């Protein structure tokens, strides 16, 4: 087969979702392979021997790892439609900065909101809100972080939206009350088919997290 695209993924992963959104934005047909992270497939271990993690995009037999690196790869290979990154170096640098900021600041803090209690949880909530307020300021009055069109930074962030109900329920707070513009932006993104079809339902993620906490004895 001339072009073969396979995605090794795990349905609740916000990193995997980024790749799903990027592939959908570009209209790329691919084979989705669900991994059981407690029993990783030989293919995953072969394609990502260093981290043994999803997502992995396999294109014509060659693996690409790390979600934001994969999204950039998709943008560079399928460059005939729906550009995800701007063409101007200044604007590209700006987009990469904010995607990297999201990468550095969101995941670990957000995880602590559902995985910890007491003081540690409160500190995580505070940091989470601070981070999203910074993002809200960057968004400003623009419809998307990319400006008029949905792009790289939007993809980097929107997948966390599927986990918002989980964060809010375990953390006992409202993200909308703290960052209304972020929620407005998220709902705008969810109107896009590429996003709506790639993100699981928020309640499903919550149920999964409840199960995961029990299974790993995190209660």
Choose which of 33, 92, 133, 213 interacts with other proteins (CB under 8 A).
Answer: 92
Residue 16 CA to residue 9 CA, distance in Å, equals 6
- Please identify which residue in the block is written with the tokens 């959908």: 24
Residues 127-166 interacting with other proteins (rule: CB under 8 A): 134
Least distance in Å: CB of 150 to other proteins?
Answer: 21
Choose which of 67, 72, 159, 194 interacts with other proteins (CB under 8 A).
Answer: 72
Least distance in Å: CB of 206 to other proteins?
Answer: 29
In angstroms, the first-to-last Cα distance of the chain is 48
Query: Is residue 167 within 8 Å of 110, Cβ to Cβ?
Result: yes
Residue 102 CA to residue 82 CA, distance in Å, equals 22
Is 97 a binding residue for other proteins by CB under 8 A? The answer is yes
**How does DSSP assign 151-202, residue by residue?**
-HHHHHHHGGGGGHHHHHHHHT--HHHH-HHHHHHHHHHHTSHHHHTTSPPH
Stretch that binds other proteins, among 26-34, 62-70, 111-119, 145-153 (CB under 8 A): 62-70
SS3 content of the chain, % helix, strand, coil (to 5): 60, 10, 30
Choose which of 6, 47, 65, 129 interacts with other proteins (CB under 8 A).
Answer: 65
Stretch that binds other proteins, among 27-35, 70-78, 189-197, 210-218 (CB under 8 A): 70-78
Is 28 a binding residue for other proteins by CB under 8 A? The answer is no
Residues that bind other proteins (CB under 8 A): 50, 59, 62, 64-66, 69-70, 72-73, 76-77, 89-90, 92-93, 96-97, 100-101, 134
């Amino acid at each position: 087969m001339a072009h073969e695209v396979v995605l090794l993924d795990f349905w609740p992963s916000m990193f995997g979702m980024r790749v799903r959104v990027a592939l959908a934005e570009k209209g790329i047909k691919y084979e989705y392979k669900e991994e059981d992270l407690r029993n990783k497939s030989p293919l995953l271990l072969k394609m990502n021997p260093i981290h043994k993690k999803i997502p992995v995009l396999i294109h014509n037999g060659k693996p690409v790892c790390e979600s934001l690196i994969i999204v950039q790869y998709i943008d560079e290979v399928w460059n005939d439609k729906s550009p995800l990154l701007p063409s101007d170096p200044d604007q590209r640098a700006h987009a990469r900065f904010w995607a990297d900021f999201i990468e550095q600041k969101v995941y670990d803090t957000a995880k602590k909101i559902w995985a910890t209690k007491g003081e540690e949880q409160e500190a995580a909530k505070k940091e989470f809100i601070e981070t999203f307020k910074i993002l809200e300021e960057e968004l400003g009055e623009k419809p998307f972080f990319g400006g008029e069109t949905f792009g790289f930074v939007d993809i980097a962030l929107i997948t966390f939206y599927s986990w918002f109900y989980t964060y809010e329920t375990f953390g006992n707070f409202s993200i909308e009350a703290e960052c209304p513009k972020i929620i407005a932006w998220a709902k705008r993104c969810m109107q896009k088919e590429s996003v709506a079809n790639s993100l699981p339902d928020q309640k499903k993620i919550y149920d999964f997290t409840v199960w995961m906490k029990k299974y790993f004895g995190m209660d």
